[in-house]
A = this chain, B = another copy of it.
Amino acid sequence: MNTQTLILAILNFENASGYEIKKQSSEGAFSYFVDISYGSIYPTLAKLEADGLVIGRSETQNGRPDKKVFSITAKGRAEFIKTLMSPPAIDKFKSEFLLVAMCADLTSPEIITKAIDKRIGEMEELLKVIGGLRSDCDHPATQWITSYGLHVKGADLEFLKNNRDSLIAMAGQAVKLDEAAE
C-alpha cells in the first residue's frame, strides 16, 4: 500500500491539506492500519497534482499559515478505484513484542512485565481510538471495519490479560538453568 493510494483514499473521503492528511493517517480514521510521514506526503501530493489526479487550491487563513487544500479529480478517483479492484495484498505485520515474548526465558521477569504491560496499555488505547472512530461515523463500511477491529483487538487484549502472569513466570528461566548448572 503505497503513499499514493493512501492519499487518494483519504482525499476520496474529504478534501485535505498535507498537514491534515498526516493527521488522518496517524490520529484519524485511517490511523489504525496506516501511517505516513510528511517526507512522503508532500512530494507525493506534488506528483499527484502533476499527474492530474488531485488539484490543490491555496487557502489564506487569518492568524494561521496559508494552507493548500487538495481534492481528488475524476481521473484520480478512477485511478483509485482501479487499484481497489486488484486483489489486496496479504497484511504486513511485524511484532517486536512477539519476538521478546518468544525469548522470555532469556530476560528477566521485570523486563517481561514492562513489555506486556506496555502492550496492554497500547491495546486499550487502540481500542479507545477505534471505538471513537466507530461512534462518530455512520458510513456503513467504516462501521464494518471498526467492528472488525474492535472484535479482533478485543480478543487480543483478553488473551494478554488472561495470560500475562504465565508469560512473566517463564521469564529468566534460561538464566536460572545456567545458574543451576554451575
| CB of A90 within 8 Å of the partner chain | yes
> Which single member of B5, B99, B103, B152 contacts A33 (CB below 8 Å)?
B99
Chain A interface bracket (under 10, 10 to 19, 20 to 34, 35 or more)? 35 or more
B167 touches A101 (CB 8 A): no
Report chain B residues within 8 Å CB of A87: 114-115, 118
* Copies of the polypeptide in the assembly: 2
| Contact of B167 with A156 in the complex, beta carbons under 8 Å | no
27 contacts between A and B (CB under 8 A): A1-B95, A9-B103, A32-B98, A33-B95, A33-B99, A34-B94, A81-B107, A84-B103, A84-B106, A84-B111, A85-B107, A87-B115, A87-B118, A88-B96, A98-B145, A98-B148, A102-B142, A102-B145, A103-B141, A104-B144, A105-B141, A141-B167, A144-B166, A144-B170, A148-B160, A151-B155, A154-B155
